[in-house]
Structure 1
Amino acid sequence: MTYGSIVHDPAGRLDTHLPLDREPNERLAAVVLDWRQDEHLPPQADIEQTALQLTGYARLLVHEVRTKAAALPRDGHASAVAARTLAQITATEADRRLSAPPLPTRHSLRAAQSRARLVSALHCALDRILAAVPASVPGP
């Protein structure tokens, strides 16, 4: 699997062309969630750029979650049904949150942390889907 760069893509035009780059975005989300208002924070522009980065990545994740969930067998075990249901709920909530206008500048830390939590939730849904994919049976 090759990895690409994630860019701010509010129109969602690139979601089918860029592969996921999970590890750096997981680390970025973890760092953002550790930021505290009363501690030394990065410059405001960096916080805003981080929120944009996580927003673009979250849009890619929503597409990936929906694609993988649609590929699960309809007559599968309960784990596949549960994974598909969780994916649908998570993707719908993600769409709702991503469609909201950005918060004013003074709330950029909250916006970035909200996006980081969304990325974490989407990763959980994706992991659950991938765990529910039936193992292929080797041929003769």
Structure 2
Amino acid sequence: MLQKILNHKIRSVFAFFIVLLLIMIRAYEDVLFYDPFLNFFKMDYHNLEIPEINKLKLFFGILYRYFLNSFLSLAIIYVLFKDIEGLKFAAFLYFIFFIVLIVVFFLILFLLDEPNKMVLFYIRRFLIQPILLLLFLPAFYYQKGFN
């Protein structure tokens, strides 16, 4: 019993450390990633023109950030649930979500004459923030629970 409680504390500390890494990514986003939308969406963007964008740098900046967030999110899932099959499934879902979201993001951004800025905002939010982790944690807990 004591060993089980200690294991949960150790797993919780590891998970907390990984969450701190996710917070560090958010805190240093201006330095780590190319994203002209960081400041754009902090302003009253409804009345502004879309900023000048280097398409390739934007793609790789979003890819890099999505990879870091996904890797750390998967690490949290593994630390908390120790389920390799579930981890593989979550990684597959992260991959599928990235493909769908990045394609839609760039289609809206570059193929529409007047892109819907709210749709861009929310798609970009799913790409740059670990929102999927907030969906996966309750699902894993419901499916498996803590051991």
Normalising by the smaller structure, the TM-score range is 0.3 to 0.5
Select the structure with the greater relative contact order (CA < 8 A; seq sep ≥ 6): 1
TM-score normalised by length of structure 2: 0.40
Greater C-alpha radius of gyration = 2
TM-score normalised by length of structure 1: 0.41
Greater fraction of residues in helix: 2
